[in-house]
Amino acid sequence: MSSAGTPGHSWPSSIGTPASLNSVFDLFGDLAFGTLTRDAGTCLALLTAEAEPSKGVVLAVHGFTGAKEDFLFLLPELAAKGWTASAVDLRGVHQSTSTGPYDLDTLASDLVAVARHLGTPVHLVAHSFGGLSAQRAVIAAPEVFSSLTLICSGPAGFMASPDLIPITIDRIRMFQGALAGHTLDEAWDAKTAYENVEMHPAMASFLRERFVVGSHEAAVRNVEDLLHAPDVVDAVAATGVPCAVMYGERDGTWNQETQNEMAVRLGTSPIRIPDATHLPMLENVDATAEALVQIFERATQATAADRA
């Protein structure tokens, strides 16, 4: 299982037994695969769990070295509770092909386009690095989003508070160095050797394969933004879009006090998911789904009250 300070992505070891691994891949059968072509060279890949009838639409965004499959358990759980839920690969990641660019504003533009494609308004759920692009999407087009939930994310890049997260900084700097002058295969192998996370070989192979088919240029730019993205939280708050901050009770990738302070600035209180570190949507799916549904329902009620 990933440690609380792991900035990248490692699936919980509880998923790593042969039986549970089979259940992971069986879940693909319940999800619909789709694509959205944005421009020349960019095609975004999505997984969707449909709810019938549907109370609303959810779009989930993964973190650095993650992909849409990080929400493989969460999507059907949300659909079972009445919410049509999709997850997208950011451009240059796994099945989303692109020739660039890969800056946060462009990623945000992609999220706005996907939201409009799915049918607005959308509840935006963003994990870790994905939260940086999601914040900018809400700023760019607040009318497209019913709510924003930041899961184990932060207000700015890691270098905004390096003294609070030394393990995070150490590991992301190591990976940044591994990417320089090396292939994605070589960088991934160096990362996994350095972090020494135990998991089932088939799962380890799956995570490696989906990362190395991505864009090297995207990975390099993502690391740079993960470290140095400026703080735009006040601009997010000014949009009036209802926001939530959620993290695993043992998460330490972004310091919890940093996340708590971000919650205050966004006019909310942090939600702590028990028995979870940096991947609550995998480590405690039921609690994460229940918390999200409450967020969606509050946001929907607030919108209805504003229109009354």
Which tens digit of pLDDT belongs to each residue from 41-78? Answer: 899 999 999 999 999 999 999 999 999 999 999 999 99
Instruction: State residue 39's pLDDT score.
Output: 83
Tell me the pLDDT band of 127, cut-offs 50, 70 and 90: very high
More confident position, 258 or 308: 258
For 68, phi and psi rounded to 5 degrees?
-60, -30
Give me the mean pLDDT over the 231-252 stretch.
97
Task: Grade residue 195 by pLDDT with cuts at 50, 70 and 90.
Answer: confident
Determine the Cα–Cα distance for residues 140 and 114; give it in Å rounded to an integer: 14
Sign of CA dihedral 271, 274, 280, 281: negative
The answer to whether 56 and 84 are in contact (CB under 8 A) is yes
Which tokens belong to 302? 């607030």
**How many of the other CB atoms lie within 10 Å of CB of 238?**
11
CATH number for 13-303: choose from 3.40.50.300, 3.40.50.150, 3.40.50.1820, 3.50.50.60: 3.40.50.1820
Joined tokens for residue 55:
């109370």
**pLDDT greater than 60 at residue 10:** no
pLDDT digits (tens, 9 = 90+) for 134-168: 999 999 999 999 999 999 999 999 999 999 999 99
- Find the mean pLDDT for residues 180-200: 91
Nearest Cα to Cα of residue 112 among 38, 33, 34, 214: 38
The torsion region of residue 194 among left (phi > 0), alpha (psi -120 to 50) and beta comes to alpha
Tell me, what DSSP letter sits at residue 199?
-
State the pTM of this model.
0.91
Question: What is the rounded distance in angstroms from the CA atom of residue 182 to the CA atom of residue 188?
Answer: 10
Q: SS3 of 46, please?
A: strand
**pLDDT of 18 strictly over 60:** no
Q: Tell me what percent of the residues of the chain surpass a pLDDT of 70.
A: 89
Instruction: Please say whether the dihedral angle defined by the alpha carbons of residues 36, 62, 218 and 158, taken in this order, is positive or negative.
Output: positive
User: What sign does the CA torsion over 108, 112, 113, 119 have?
Assistant: positive
Report the alpha-carbon distance of residue 213 to residue 18 in Å, rounded: 25
Average pLDDT in the chain: 90
Between CA 152 and CA 161 the distance in angstroms is 15
